[in-house]
Structure formats: C-alpha cells, structure tokens
C-alpha cells in the first residue's frame, strides 16, 4: 500500500502547519499542510491525533465531490484531505497547498494554490487507497 507522511510543526490554538510528502515510484510529491489547532481531537475544532490512518477515495456529500477520506480516526468521521486556504474553513480536515503565506493579513499563515495542489496530490496517489502517517516534528 502507498504511504504519505504528514509532519506537523507545533502550532497555536487556531492552526497547525506541516508538510506532506508522498511517493509514487520515482515521482515525489511535496506540499504544505494546514489543519486546525490541537484540541484533543474535539470534533469540528481540532486536528486529528498523530497516528497511522487508512485513506480511501470516496464521495463527500458535504463537498459534493470525491476526495480522500481519512478513516478510523477515533471518535470522528468525515475527515477529508481537500482544498481550502484558511484554517477557519476547516472542521478537522487537512488542507494542502504549495506553500504557506499570510494571504488575508490576519497574522496566520494560510496555504496557497490549494486547488492545484490537491489535484496534483490526487493524481500522484492515483485515487488509490493509501496509508497516511501523521507525526509531530521533534
């Protein structure tokens, strides 16, 4: 099974930043990640716990499109990897972009080019199931 690695850096109460790396053969994909702050896995206000998760390409009724769903998150469902720019648009999911930048002048870093980054990620993962390994940076 393919793997992707999400390495988080310590954030603040509002957001968590990180980097995601995935590989398909010789092709390597690197993106910046954006999640909510760590609030002990509380639904809709927290990032999910560090750990290993199975991800599957499924239809999201909320987003009205297919995305990767992060499965087997303790006490949580509907966690997705999808396109947004700002932490306030998230309800516990993982957003990807090609870099971090404060694009709305609120003193918090956002992800930019999220739509294009998600398309590239979905392409390299080929809509196949994979394991997502989430860790905190040392």
Determine the Cα–Cα distance for residues 14 and 111; give it in Å rounded to an integer: 14
Q: E strands, the chain, where?
A: 2-9, 15-24, 27-36, 51-60, 65-70, 79-82, 94-97, 99-101, 110-112, 130-136
- Using alpha carbons, select from 117, 120, 96, 94 the residue that is nearest to residue 32: 96
Q: What is the pLDDT of residues 96-131, one digit of tens each?
A: 999 999 999 999 999 999 999 999 999 999 999 999
Tens-level pLDDT at each residue, the chain (138 residues) = 899 999 999 889 999 999 999 998 889 999 999 999 999 999 999 999 999 999 999 999 999 999 999 999 999 999 999 999 999 999 999 999 999 999 999 999 999 999 999 999 999 999 999 999 999 997
């Amino acid at each position: 099974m393919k793997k992707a690695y999400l390495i988080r850096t310590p954030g603040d109460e509002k957001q968590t930043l990180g980097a995601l790396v995935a590989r398909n053969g010789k092709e390597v994909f690197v993106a910046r990640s954006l999640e909510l702050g760590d609030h002990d896995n509380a639904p809709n206000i927290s990032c999910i716990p560090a750990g290993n998760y199975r991800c599957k390409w499924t239809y999201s009724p909320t987003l009205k499109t297919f995305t990767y769903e992060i499965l087997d998150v303790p006490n949580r469902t509907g966690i997705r990897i999808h396109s947004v720019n700002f932490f306030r648009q998230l309800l516990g999911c993982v957003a990807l972009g090609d870099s971090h930048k404060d694009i709305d002048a609120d003193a918090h870093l956002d992800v930019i080019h999220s739509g294009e980054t998600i398309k590239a990620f979905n392409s390299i993962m080929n809509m196949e199931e994979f394991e997502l390994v989430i860790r905190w940076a040392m």
